[in-house]
Amino acid sequence: MRKLIAVLLVTLLMLVGCGQQSTGGNEGQPEENSNQFVTVATGPTSGVYYPIGGAISNIVQHELGYRSSVQSTGASVENINLLLNNRAELAITMADAVLQAYQGFGAFEDQEPKEELRGIMSLYPNYVQLVTLKSTGIETFEDLVGRRVGVGAPNSGVELNARLMFEAHGMTYDDIRPDYLNYGEAIDQIRNGMIEAAFVTSGIPNSTVMDLGTTNEIKIIPIEGEGMEYLQEHYPFFSATVIPAGTYDNTEDINTGAIMNLLLVNGSLEEEDVYNMTKGLFDHMDMIHNSHNAAKENINLESALDGMVVPLHPGAERYFREVGAIQ
């Protein structure tokens, strides 16, 4: 009996020791936050959405303890539909596409308004960059008539934006020869002489445009005058801005329009989870800033609600009230 008791005591001490060792080995590692899997819908791998979305996914998984992955997509409209169909939990989108879905017009014409859409925060502005080569002779928007133009992948944020650009200038796709390519593909086709101009609506600098500029003399066509005035009057999510001198070896600022990018969240997520994610993103904002220059210059608490065109998720609203960003 004494031997049996001694064996049991030794076994108990070994189990306690193993438990202590296991706890020490996990020190500093986030505990699993919930059973929630977080898919972050972004855009093409050649764009700005993808690296920023990757940083968001890394924070959600490695700092907050959720399971997460980043997904390359066709961007805004696809991302909105992924949220609505419960195939994504977070998505980066352009504000114009979001408002069209929320109110049921444009790309979402004849559909019920998607009033369940919810936001976490505003990210950074997308600049309208109408790119061509100096050799094409294209100097103004109106010079696109009859030209082969990359207008973005079908129903992408870039393509929706391109349609509004033509509307603002009293033109339609009937005035050009449109090619429905994402801007990575479109830039390649400019390089190959297959198209003459392309819409690249993204943060700046855009890596594909920079790459084109290493082998060709490029020109960014300005969006200004009556065209810009029309956009601001009819679509207030546009703001007049400039692409600063030196962005693409341009010697002067280039007038253009910008639209805010938004981080949306699946409205069905629990308030506590969305609060944790919102707080976690700001607690680890350096990781987002390091993902791309567009993030470093623009994503911060001061501008986190600029251009938000849908209601905040209650979890995000709770965080912003907590830090005094909203009263």
pLDDT tens sequence across 114-124: 999 999 999 99
Q: What is the mean pLDDT of residues 152-157?
A: 85
| Highest mean pLDDT out of 95-104, 150-159, 314-323 | 314-323
Q: How large is the average pLDDT for residues 145-172?
A: 93
In the chain, domain spans? 37-124+261-322, 126-259
Which residue is listed with tokens 């600063």?
244
Q: Which helix (H) or strand (E) holds 93?
A: strand 90-94
Report the amino acid identity of residue 139: E
The domains spanning 37-124+261-322 and 126-259 adopt the same CATH topology = yes
Q: Which CATH architecture has domain 37-124+261-322?
A: 3-Layer(aba) Sandwich (3.40)
pTM of the shown model: 0.77
Residue 212 structure tokens: 């084109």
Per residue in 34-63, pLDDT tens?
688 999 999 988 888 999 999 999 999 999
Percent of the chain with pLDDT over 90: 74
Determine the Cα–Cα distance for residues 287 and 189; give it in Å rounded to an integer. 34
pLDDT at 125 over 50: yes
Q: What is the pLDDT of residues 238-291, one digit of tens each?
A: 889 999 999 999 999 999 999 999 999 999 999 999 999 999 999 999 999 999
Least confident of 29-38, 62-71, 91-100, 106-115: 29-38
Position 106 confidence tier, pLDDT thresholds 50, 70, 90: confident
Interhelix angle 157-168/225-234, nearest 10 degrees:
120
Q: Higher confidence at residue 210 or residue 46? A: 210
Report CA-CA distances (Å) from 137 to 109, 142, 187, 240, 255: 37, 12, 17, 25, 19
Going by pLDDT thresholds of 50, 70 and 90, the confidence category of residue 154 is confident
Instruction: Check pLDDT > 80 for residue 222.
Output: yes
Highest mean pLDDT among 34-38, 107-111, 182-186, 319-323: 319-323
> Higher-confidence residue: 14 or 274?
274
Regarding predicted confidence, which is higher, 29 or 230? 230
Residues 6+ apart with CB under 8 A from 108: 100, 101, 114
Model pLDDT, residue 1: 52
Reported as a pLDDT band with limits 50, 70 and 90, residue 30 is: low
3-state secondary structure of 131: strand
User: What phi and psi values does residue 25 have, to the nearest 5 degrees?
Assistant: -65, -25
15, pLDDT greater than 60:
no
Give the pLDDT confidence score for residue 33 in this predicted structure.
66
**pLDDT score, position 7:** 45
Query: 126-259 architecture in CATH?
Result: 3-Layer(aba) Sandwich (3.40)
Long-range contacts of 96-99 (CB under 8 A, 24+ apart): 96/157, 96/160, 96/161, 96/164, 96/235, 96/237, 96/238, 96/259, 97/157, 97/160, 98/262, 98/264, 98/309, 98/310, 99/237, 99/309, 99/310
